Homo-oligomer: A and B are copies of this chain.
């Protein structure tokens, strides 16, 4: 499963001015003075076009054309009477829309788009450095000319004015209080308020406007789900402002922007505060209640109360006392006496417990404070079974009410605690309360000193402070121990058995009847659920047939989803939680005759997959160094994919975990360490046509190299996933002999490892799908 492609490095290193125009969801980039051919359109010169544009947008210098104003300008432009179909915008905010390099702008005219007019539901989307606006057909625009603000937005804005609030804008992020990727339903405030149900996104509501930011995975979904009251902000697209840039643009200077400080990491809140300060806006922490909850009211789901269970030592490998003891050594070395951990998977890992509060992630809502002489777990007591109670007690972990974490962090400061604080994960509410409590301590000390009371101490370190560092549990959890790797290997084999049964079933079933993407996902769940130790899915199954496969995080809807048949590619990205491990696998197949184009693309994605799998690299190599290896075969024919190549995976924990990654984003300098698990999932997506992704999980091993240049260790990968690739999609002419041998070796391993676990038609299917491809040498 993919990780979101936030800001692209290509954007960071970009140094030429660009103009970007999108039609039918298909991006077209126009380099100044250069005509670029897109998949759908050709741009052809016409001075008249620009002249007419000037007429329509005469008094719209670029910086003003944002939000509603831009929508209006765009609407005028897209009226049926206008013969022109492309609005050219400059991405620089400095010059007026038509003043910009007029002779160059004048050279473009969207000719082919006229054909697009016949496509009933087509939308013309225009991006600039301002807000991207959907320009709907004029018929739709007429309908929407009667303003009708949605009730939730109106209710939310009413709360803005209440005396204990008093804000001009409110930011609603996706997160819960623990920076979780998947969250319990009761915390899905952004979904509730905006209607957009993708996993990543930020909603911002001002008194007049409402905008939603999401990334490339969700552009199409957001377009469908957002009402007309919302503006979609395509994050990562050139010229799209950040939330703070947008707020700085639309709010009167000196406005008050409210957030729920529990829902922002301290770092994120700090960054936001500084960005908003540029226009003198104030970031207001609203501790007492979440404004969306005020609108949601009774219909808001109850917080989860699922019981916690002990994660067996045979899967965990290291007992809680040893883990906590090692953590305390690290605290001690750093001069700290306490740490607060808020990441739910870190708590679950450290305490060898698992929960069931969140879909896909076996974690429980809690905070953990570890001090040198004890530890407190802040959690709903109702979730604690007798077994868990004994388990925690034996490791010196006490249970406290979830909500009391704030008062405890204040009391920790009052006791002079020296806190290891990961401000990138701990929320702004807790960090800010600790800081205030520290300030109070030092102020009171100052007063005592002035009064020359004997209690005062002269040691400047004899008092509370925070040491801001990444949580030490992040690395400890990412580097798997032997028991964790054993559990991962074994659960992956059971998962492979389930997938074998599933693919055997599906290949047969597709020939006999119409079957939908949702049915496919459900049946896969059924096969997995028969495996021992199965707990649930590790994320929403991405079951994408044909064009849906090109939507990177597609989630089929039972009402509208496609049928899976033998005419196009079918992409299936899924994963499971087992008692002993977490899986994540993608296979792309064709039940009929793939086109040469599809085989070409599939084979290149497979070549990238093989290159990563086979990579050997010096220790301390950050993942991004390997990323290009996966892209080279695609780049060769001018193709690429807009997501990273690999993410970390937890052992019977979250399917996405840090700190490592294999990505084209250069920022992550975390080296790949022996024992880390990463996904290997290059892909290729042809919009409106098909999607291809091939994903195995790997773990980092010491490579047995005959040399050791530099006296260092060289690392490589071992596979966890053992499910065949579809041979008919492989174009042998593209492959080197070494690549063919790799495939044959892998399929031989698949047969050896998985055949003992399946019977009947599944065994036949496995046999047929693991036969060696022909090679020229033995």
For residue A666, CB closer than 8 A to chain B, the reply is yes
Given A671-B15, A705-B636, A711 contacting B29 (CB threshold 8 A): yes
For residue A712, CB closer than 8 A to chain B, the reply is yes
How far apart are A93's CB and chain B's nearest CB, in angstroms? 16
How far apart are A27's CB and chain B's nearest CB, in angstroms? 6
* Partner pick for A638 among B30, B31, B642, B703, CB 8 A cutoff: B703
For residue A637, CB closer than 8 A to chain B, the reply is yes
For residue A287, CB closer than 8 A to chain B, the reply is no
Given A27-B711, A625-B628, A705 contacting B616 (CB threshold 8 A): no
C-alpha spacing A162/B712, complex, angstroms: 50
Given A13-B622, A626-B628, A707 contacting B617 (CB threshold 8 A): no
Question: Are A639 and B14 neighbours in the complex by a CB distance under 8 Å?
Answer: no
Residues of A673-730 contacting chain B, CB below 8 A: 703, 705-714
Question: Are A36 and B736 neighbours in the complex by a CB distance under 8 Å?
Answer: no
Given A626-B628, A628-B626, A666-B666, A671 contacting B13 (CB threshold 8 A): yes
For residue A37, CB closer than 8 A to chain B, the reply is yes
Chain B residue nearest to A11 in the complex (CB): B620
C-alpha spacing A15/B642, complex, angstroms: 30
Q: How would residues 610 to 632 of chain A score, 1 for a CB under 8 Å from any chain B CB and 0 otherwise?
A: 01001111101110011111001
C-alpha spacing A637/B703, complex, angstroms: 9
For residue A119, CB closer than 8 A to chain B, the reply is no
Residues of A368-405 contacting chain B, CB below 8 A: none
Given A635-B615, A671-B15, A738-B736, A710 contacting B626 (CB threshold 8 A): no
Q: How would residues 14 to 45 of chain A score, 1 for a CB under 8 Å from any chain B CB and 0 otherwise?
A: 11000000000001111100001110000000
Question: Are A635 and B37 neighbours in the complex by a CB distance under 8 Å?
Answer: no
For residue A10, CB closer than 8 A to chain B, the reply is yes
C-alpha spacing A625/B626, complex, angstroms: 9
For residue A271, CB closer than 8 A to chain B, the reply is no
* Partner pick for A13 among B620, B635, B639, B642, CB 8 A cutoff: B620
Chain B residues with CB under 8 Å of A620's CB are 10, 13-15
How far apart are A632's CB and chain B's nearest CB, in angstroms? 7
For residue A640, CB closer than 8 A to chain B, the reply is yes
Chain B residues with CB under 8 Å of A617's CB are 628, 635
For residue A455, CB closer than 8 A to chain B, the reply is no
Chain B residue nearest to A639 in the complex (CB): B709
Question: Are A640 and B618 neighbours in the complex by a CB distance under 8 Å?
Answer: yes
For residue A200, CB closer than 8 A to chain B, the reply is no
Chain B residues with CB under 8 Å of A642's CB are 710
* Partner pick for A616 among B36, B638, B669, B736, CB 8 A cutoff: B638
Chain B residues with CB under 8 Å of A15's CB are 620, 671
Question: Are A638 and B13 neighbours in the complex by a CB distance under 8 Å?
Answer: no
Given A620-B10, A636-B705, A710 contacting B628 (CB threshold 8 A): no
Chain B residues with CB under 8 Å of A669's CB are 12-13
The number of chain A residues with a CB under 8 A from chain B is 55
Q: How would residues 34 to 73 of chain A score, 1 for a CB under 8 Å from any chain B CB and 0 otherwise?
A: 0011100000000000000000000000000000000000
C-alpha spacing A664/B624, complex, angstroms: 12
C-alpha spacing A664/B710, complex, angstroms: 15
Chain B residue nearest to A777 in the complex (CB): B776
For residue A737, CB closer than 8 A to chain B, the reply is yes
C-alpha spacing A710/B236, complex, angstroms: 13
Question: Are B707 and A28 neighbours in the complex by a CB distance under 8 Å?
Answer: no
C-alpha spacing A736/B607, complex, angstroms: 14
Chain B residues with CB under 8 Å of A29's CB are 710-712
Chain B residues with CB under 8 Å of A37's CB are 708
C-alpha spacing A707/B597, complex, angstroms: 11
Given A626-B628, A636-B705, A638-B703, A10 contacting B618 (CB threshold 8 A): yes
Question: Are A711 and B638 neighbours in the complex by a CB distance under 8 Å?
Answer: no
Given A13-B622, A14-B620, A27-B710, A615 contacting B638 (CB threshold 8 A): no
Chain B residue nearest to A673 in the complex (CB): B15
Question: Are B616 and A711 neighbours in the complex by a CB distance under 8 Å?
Answer: no
Residues of A641-684 contacting chain B, CB below 8 A: 642, 664, 666, 669, 671
Chain B residues with CB under 8 Å of A635's CB are 615-618, 714
Chain B residues with CB under 8 Å of A14's CB are 620
C-alpha spacing A776/B618, complex, angstroms: 34
Chain B residues with CB under 8 Å of A637's CB are 616, 705-707
Q: Most chain-B CB neighbours within 10 Å: which of A31, A712, A736?
A: A712
How far apart are A104's CB and chain B's nearest CB, in angstroms? 16
Q: Most chain-B CB neighbours within 10 Å: which of A13, A642, A710?
A: A710
C-alpha spacing A614/B632, complex, angstroms: 10
How far apart are A106's CB and chain B's nearest CB, in angstroms? 20
How far apart are A336's CB and chain B's nearest CB, in angstroms? 18
Chain B residues with CB under 8 Å of A671's CB are 13, 15
Chain B residues with CB under 8 Å of A632's CB are 611, 615-616, 629
Question: Are A708 and B629 neighbours in the complex by a CB distance under 8 Å?
Answer: no
C-alpha spacing A713/B10, complex, angstroms: 12
Chain B residues with CB under 8 Å of A611's CB are 632
Question: Are B38 and A639 neighbours in the complex by a CB distance under 8 Å?
Answer: no
Question: Are B640 and A709 neighbours in the complex by a CB distance under 8 Å?
Answer: yes
Question: Are A638 and B10 neighbours in the complex by a CB distance under 8 Å?
Answer: no
Question: Are A707 and B615 neighbours in the complex by a CB distance under 8 Å?
Answer: no
How far apart are A347's CB and chain B's nearest CB, in angstroms? 24
Chain B residues with CB under 8 Å of A36's CB are 708, 711-713
How far apart are A536's CB and chain B's nearest CB, in angstroms? 35
Chain B residue nearest to A642 in the complex (CB): B710
Chain B residue nearest to A739 in the complex (CB): B736
Chain B residues with CB under 8 Å of A616's CB are 632, 635-638
Chain B residues with CB under 8 Å of A38's CB are 708, 711
Q: Most chain-B CB neighbours within 10 Å: which of A616, A629, A705?
A: A616
C-alpha spacing A611/B635, complex, angstroms: 13
C-alpha spacing A641/B664, complex, angstroms: 23
C-alpha spacing A642/B638, complex, angstroms: 32
Chain B residues with CB under 8 Å of A638's CB are 616, 703, 705-709, 714
C-alpha spacing A214/B628, complex, angstroms: 32
6 sampled A-B residue pairs with Cβ under 8 A = A10-B620, A13-B671, A15-B671, A29-B710, A36-B712, A776-B776
| Residues of A that sit less than 8 Å from B by CB | 10, 12-15, 27-31, 36-38, 611, 614-618, 620-622, 625-629, 632, 634-640, 642, 664, 666, 669, 671, 703, 705-714, 736-738, 776
Other A-B pairs beyond A27-B710, A638-B703, 18, CB < 8 Å: A13-B620, A13-B671, A14-B620, A31-B713, A36-B711, A37-B708, A615-B635, A616-B637, A625-B627, A625-B664, A628-B629, A629-B629, A634-B709, A637-B706, A638-B705, A640-B709, A666-B666, A736-B738
